[in-house]
Amino acid sequence: MKPTTQFPRVYFNDLHRMPYQEAWDLQMDLHAATVARKKANRELVKTGTTPGPQHHHLLFVEHPPVYTLGKSGSVDHLLLNEDQLREQGFTFHKINRGGDITYHGPGQLVAYPILDLDEFFNDVHKYVRCLEEVVIRTCADFGVLAERDEGFTGVWLPGDPARRQPRRKICAIGVHLSRWTTLHGFAFNVRPNLTHFNNIVPCGINDADRAVTSLSVEVGRPIELAEVKPFVKRHFQEVFNFSWAEPTTAV
Q: Give all domains of the chain, ordered by start, each with its CATH number.
A: 9-240 (3.30.930.10)
Per-residue pLDDT of 90-119, as tens digits, reads 999 998 887 889 999 999 999 999 999 999
Q: Would you place residue 247 in the very low, low, confident or very high pLDDT band (cuts 50, 70, 90)?
A: low
CB 190 within 8 A of CB 108: yes
Q: How far is CA 67 from CA 49, 70, 80, 142, 186, in A?
A: 46, 10, 10, 28, 14
- For 100-224, where are the alpha helices, taking DSSP H only? 124-141, 215-219
pLDDT at 4: 46
CB 74 within 8 A of CB 28: no
Count, residues in the chain? 251
pLDDT at 203: 74
Q: How far is CA 27 from CA 32, 75, 129, 203, in A?
A: 9, 24, 21, 22
Judge whether residue 2 has pLDDT over 80: no
Per-residue pLDDT of 10-61, as tens digits, reads 999 999 999 999 999 999 999 999 999 999 999 999 899 999 999 999 999 9
In the residue annotation, 203 being an active-site residue is answered as: yes
pLDDT at 249: 47
Per-residue pLDDT of 164-212, as tens digits, reads 889 999 999 999 999 999 999 999 999 999 999 999 887 777 767 889 9
46 or 240, which is more confident: 240
Element (H, E) at 68: strand 66-69
C-alpha span between 57 and 115 (Å, rounded): 6
Per-residue pLDDT of 131-146, as tens digits, reads 999 999 999 999 999 9
Q: Would you place residue 1 in the very low, low, confident or very high pLDDT band (cuts 50, 70, 90)?
A: very low
- Selecting among 130, 139, 171, 203, the annotated active-site residue is 203
